[in-house]
């Protein structure tokens, strides 16, 4: 006997659970199946995918704890707060993080109940399509159960890319999963890949006392960000003691119970060696279509293994959609959620949309880095005439009061229309401040529009305001 639904969502991460909730809100009879990737100790699947279990949320919990640890050891004394030398109880820190994960993942089960989404415990795989005069449905096997649904949303996410010949045991050699669960602060930590995970997890363990060395293949550091932001970040991270070596090529990696020994070729062609107690490999993520039996039904994948979709996340199969990390675009939780909402609304006959031009990026280092839209180097390459307004946080009273003088806001606007083309922030609370840039760009605002909006004083948002004024060369406080 098969179970029947209007919509079956495969995967319970941010793309999947949000698509399921929105589709249920719009009146569909919805089920979401989740395989046991992040099962709790009782074997029950945990919803929330990579993001809640081994990604966004646990990493931010550790970043917060390690930030407080560093502050208490360094900047508290400057403000007259004397607490002595802090020590870290790693088990308690990890336990707190686990508690947050548990609370949020079970919260999604609650949201499913509230919205009448049926949770199916099991791995989803395509069986085929059943077409008859009365109905056209997809058949999916979820564990031992055959499920039929008219619409399928594939939201199976991504998994860590590993280095060939370097097995990850999440003890000595870790991907994101082990990096979030080290049982002690390693004396020497090596990281391969100076991308988002490398910088965030490298920061966590450095703040807690590790000597961290990050090996990066590309010659330029943080080439995805605006060039000025990357330069500032390199300066600040070096001052913090995060050692980042760019332009390297990894050679032999020897692994023992005690640690790793990494041979690599330096930018100048010299042969180098890095010894460390633990290694984090963070060299990107790959789309996950494992065990989905996509080929059985002819679901088309790209050369990079992503499910091929159009701008509305339709696949090549009728009634089959795909969202999140398993399709092209930034591998970000909020992008996955936007696509999930879009698909549910389009299925319901509404005009859902997801604007890839205004998806913000945030790197939760200290200072934080956040941006939306085009970088200066992209505008130059595209031959777009632009103007830039750049204001340092050191000119802002609130930033000084908070002891956060590092960084700046840089706004890029079209030289002829004044329309905002990009906002780039390195500084305290950049993750929150970037929303103003996103809203402005989503509404097609000009720098002058932001310049004419009243910003509360004293706030960090005044630096965004001043950057808008600076686009017209008339900042008031700089
Ligand atoms: P996933 O979250 O990967 O979820 C896919 C789900 O599908 C999983 O639960 C999996 O078990 C399940 N599944 C897979 N195949 C099947 C199947 N056949 N049947 C049933 N279930 C299946 N993004 C941000 O925006 N901000 C951040 O701060 C951030 N921090 C991150 C930190 C780390 C360390 C990592 C690794 C990632 C981070 N990300 C962050 C990225 C973010 O986690 C992903 O972009 C997001 O989780 C993608 O959502 P998704 O729903 O597409 O896939
Ligand atoms: P990444 O793509 O951000 O960075 C990978 C880095 O590894 C790149 O700089 C790349 O040049 C380098 N690299 C690749 N192969 C290499 C090799 N063989 N040797 C040395 N360096 C090599 O990927 P990362 O950090 O693994 O994160 C994966 C994704 O997860 C991110 O792209 C992002 O989408 C998401 N994420 C988002 C976060 C956020 O929003 N704050 C936090 C963490 C992850």
Q: Are residues 224 and 334 in the same domain?
A: no
Rounded to whole angstroms, how far apart are CA atoms 41 and 38? Answer: 10
Give CA–CA dist 331/288, Å, rounded. 12
Give me the number of domains the chain comprises: 3
Per-residue tokens: 413: 């606007």
Please name the residue whose Cα sits nearest to atom 32 of ligand 1. 55
Q: What is the pLDDT of residue 131?
A: 84
Instruction: Determine, yes or no, domain membership for 164.
Output: no
Buried b (16+ CB within 10 A) or exposed e, 2-15: eeebbbbbbbbbbb
Tokens of 157: 């996410």
Both 246 and 296 in one domain: the answer is no
Pair (56, 131) in one structural domain: yes
> Quick check: CB of 33 below 6 Å from ligand 1?
yes
CA distance linking residue 164 with residue 167, whole number of Å? 8
pLDDT in tens, 343-362: 999 999 999 899 999 999 99
Please state, in angstroms and rounded to a whole number, the distance separating the CA atoms of residues 6 and 31: 8
Query: Active-site residue among 74, 353, 356, 457?
Result: 457
Task: Give the C-alpha separation, 233 to 427, whole Å.
Answer: 10
The half-sphere exposure of 299 on its side-chain side, counting CA atoms within 13 A, is 29
Q: Is the dihedral of CA 103, 109, 111, 113 positive or negative?
A: negative
Residue minimizing CA distance to atom 41 of ligand 1:
332
151, 347 in Cβ contact below 8 A? yes
Task: Check whether residue 340 and residue 376 sit in a common domain.
Answer: no
pLDDT at residue number 45: 80
Is there a binding annotation on residue 67? no
Protein residues whose CB sits closer than 6 Å to any atom of ligand 2:
192-198, 200, 215-218, 250, 282-285, 330-332, 362-364
CA–centroid distance, 2 to ligand 1, in Å, is 28
- Domain range holding 248? 173-283
Q: Which helix (H) or strand (E) holds 409?
A: strand 408-414
| Ligand in closest contact with the CA of 161 | 2
CA 303 to centroid of ligand 1, rounded, Å: 21
> Is 327 labelled a binding residue?
no
Q: How far apart are CA 112 and CA 43, in angstroms?
A: 19
Residues in the chain with pLDDT < 50?
none
Q: What is the DSSP letter of 229?
A: H
Q: Which atom of ligand 2 is nearest to the CA of 199?
A: 25
Among 231, 265, 283, the domain-final residue is 283
**Pairing label, strands 136-142, 145-154:** antiparallel
| 73 annotated as belonging to a binding site for a ligand | no
CA distance 130 to 137: 5
In the numeric block, the tokens 């050692």 are attached to 243
Which of the listed residues 233, 253, 283 is the one where a domain comes to its end? 283
Residue 42 annotated as binding site: no
**Nearest ligand, measured from the Cα of 217:** 2
**Phi then psi for 176, rounded to 5 degrees?**
-60, -30
Between the CA of 343 and the centroid of ligand 1 the distance, in Å, is 18
Atom of ligand 1 nearest to the CA of 197: 34
If asked whether residues 77 and 190 sit together in one domain, one would say no
Whether residues 198 and 273 share a domain: the answer is yes
Which of ligand 2's atoms lies nearest the C-alpha of 163? 18
Q: Given CA atoms 456, 461, 463, 468 in this order, what sign does their dihedral have?
A: negative
Residue 167 belongs to a domain: no
Strand pairing class (211-215; 188-192): parallel
What six digits make up the tokens of 33? Answer: 């199946």
Confirm if 447 and 416 have CB atoms less than 8 A apart. no
Residue with CA closest to ligand 1 atom 15: 156
Out of 18, 55, 177, 305, mutate this one to test ligand 1's pocket (max ligand atoms within 8 Å of CB): namely 55
- In this structure, are 246 and 313 located in the same domain? no
Helical segments of 316-455, H only: 333-347, 376-382, 397-401, 430-442, 447-451
| Residue 198 is assigned to a ligand binding site | yes
pLDDT at 448: 98
Name the DSSP letter for residue 374: -
**Distance in angstroms (rounded) separating the CA atoms of residues 189 and 320:** 44
362 inside domain: no
Q: Domain with 180 in it: what CATH number?
A: 3.50.50.60
Inside any domain, residue 249: yes
| C-alpha torsion angle, residues 135, 138, 142, 146 (rounded to 10) | 40
pLDDT for res 132: 76
Phi, psi dihedrals of residue 366, rounded to the nearest 5°:
-125, 115
- From atom 41 of ligand 2, which residue's Cα is the shortest distance away? 363
Last residue of a domain, one of 332, 355, 378: 355
Active site residue 457: yes
pLDDT, position 134 = 73
Helices and strands in the chain: count of H runs, count of E runs: 15, 22
What's the rounded Cα separation, in Å, for the pair 296 and 332?
29
Residues across the chain:
478
User: What whole-number distance in Å separates Cα of residue 75 and Cα of residue 56?
Assistant: 26
Edge-to-edge strand order for the sheet containing 243-245? Answer: 173-174, 278-281, 188-192, 211-215, 243-245
Residues 428 and 382 in one domain: yes
| Residue 124 Cβ < 6 Å to ligand 1 | yes
CA of 130 to the centre of ligand 2 (A): 41
Q: How far apart are the first and last CA of the chain?
A: 71
Q: Do 88 and 59 have their domain in common? A: yes
The pLDDT, as a whole number, for residue 42 is 79
Residues 303 and 404 both lie in one domain? no
Parallel, antiparallel, or unpaired for β 285-287 and 158-160? antiparallel
- Of the residues 175, 195, 198, 360, which should be mutated to test ligand 2's pocket, given the most ligand atoms within 8 Å of the CB? 195
pLDDT tens-digit series, residues 41-58:
777 789 999 999 999 999
Q: What is the C-alpha to C-alpha distance for residues 469 and 391, in angstroms, rounded to an integer? A: 10
Cα separation of 335 and 330, whole Å?
7
Q: Choose which residue among 165, 197, 331 to substitute to test ligand 2 binding: the one with the highest number of ligand atoms within 8 A of its C-beta.
A: 197
**C-beta 61 within 6 A of ligand 1:** no
Give the residue from 156, 106, 108, 152 showing the smallest Cα distance to 129. 152
Q: Residue 394 is part of a domain; what is its CATH number?
A: 3.30.390.30
473, 451 contact by CB (below 8 A) = no
Whether residue 406 lies inside any domain: the answer is: yes
133 is in an annotated binding site: no
Residue at 263 is within a domain: yes
Exposure b/e, 33-68, CB count within 10 A at least 16 = b: bbbebbeeeeeebbbbbbbbbbbbbbbbbbbbbbbe
Q: Is 342 annotated as a binding residue?
A: no
Spell out the alpha helix ranges (H) of 289-403: 294-297, 333-347, 376-382, 397-401
Residues 224, 92 share a domain: no
In a domain, 82, yes or no: yes
**Alpha-carbon distance 80 to 56, whole Å?**
34
Same domain? For 20 and 92 the reply is yes
Pocket lining: 158 vs ligand 1, CB cutoff 6 Å: yes
CA–centroid distance, 262 to ligand 2, in Å, is 19
Ligand 1 pocket, residue 338 CB under 6 Å: no
Q: How many other CB atoms are there within 10 angstroms of residue 355's CB atom?
A: 11
The residue whose CA is least distant from atom 22 of ligand 1 is 11
174 within ligand 1 shell (Cβ under 6 A) = no
Which tokens go with 129? 């399509």
């Amino acid at each position: 006997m098969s179970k029947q639904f209007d919509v079956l969502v495969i995967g319970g991460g941010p793309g999947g659970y949000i698509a399921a909730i929105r589709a249920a809100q719009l009146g569909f009879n919805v089920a979401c199946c989740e395989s046991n990737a992040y099962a709790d100790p009782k074997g029950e699947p945990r919803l929330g995918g990579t993001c809640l279990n081994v990604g966004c949320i646990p990493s931010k919990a550790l970043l917060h704890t390690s930030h407080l640890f560093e502050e208490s050891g360094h900047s508290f004394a400057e403000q007259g707060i004397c607490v002595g030398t802090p020590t870290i109880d790693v088990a308690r820190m990890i336990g707190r993080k686990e508690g947050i994960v548990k609370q949020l993942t079970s919260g999604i089960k609650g949201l499913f109940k509230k919205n009448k989404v049926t949770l199916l415990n099991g791995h989803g795989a395509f069986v085929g399509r059943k077409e008859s005069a009365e109905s056209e449905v997809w058949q999916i096997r979820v564990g031992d159960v055959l499920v039929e649904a008219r619409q399928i949303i594939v939201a199976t996410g991504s998994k860590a890319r590993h280095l060939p010949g370097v097995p990850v045991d999440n003890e000595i050699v870790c991907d994101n999963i082990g990096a979030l669960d080290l049982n002690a602060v390693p004396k020497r930590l090596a990281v391969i890949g100076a991308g988002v995970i490398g910088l965030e997890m490298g920061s966590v363990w450095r703040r807690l006392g590790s000597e961290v060395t990050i090996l990066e293949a590309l010659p330029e550091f943080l080439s995805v960000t605006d060039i000025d932001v990357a330069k500032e970040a390199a300066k600040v991270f070096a001052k913090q003691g995060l050692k980042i070596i760019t332009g390297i090529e990894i050679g032999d990696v020897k692994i023992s119970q005690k640690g790793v020994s990494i041979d690599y070729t330096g930018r100048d062609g010299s042969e180098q060696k890095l010894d460390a107690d633990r290694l984090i490999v963070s060299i990107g993520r790959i789309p996950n279509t494992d065990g989905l039996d996509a080929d059985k039904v002819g679901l088309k994948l790209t050369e990079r293994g992503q499910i091929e979709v159009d701008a509305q996340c339709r696949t090549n199969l009728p009634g089959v959609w795909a969202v999140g990390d398993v399709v092209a675009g930034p591998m970000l939780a909020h992008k996955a959620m936007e696509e999930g909402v879009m698909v549910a609304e389009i299925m319901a006959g509404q005009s859902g949309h997801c604007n890839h031009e205004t998806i913000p990026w945030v790197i939760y280092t200290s200072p934080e880095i956040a941006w939306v839209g085009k970088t200066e180097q992209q505008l130059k390459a595209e031959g777009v005439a632009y103007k830039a307004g750049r204001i340092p946080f050191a000119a802002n009273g609130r930033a000084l009061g908070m002891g956060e003088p590092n960084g700046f806001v840089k706004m890029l606007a079209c030289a002829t229309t004044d329309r905002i083309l990009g906002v780039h922030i390195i500084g305290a609370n950049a993750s929150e401040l970037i929303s103003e840039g996103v809203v402005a760009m989503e509404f097609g605002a000009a720098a002058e529009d932001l310049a004419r909006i009243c910003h509360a004083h004293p706030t960090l948002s005044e630096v965004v305001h001043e950057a808008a004024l600076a686009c017209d060369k008339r900042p008031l406080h700089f």
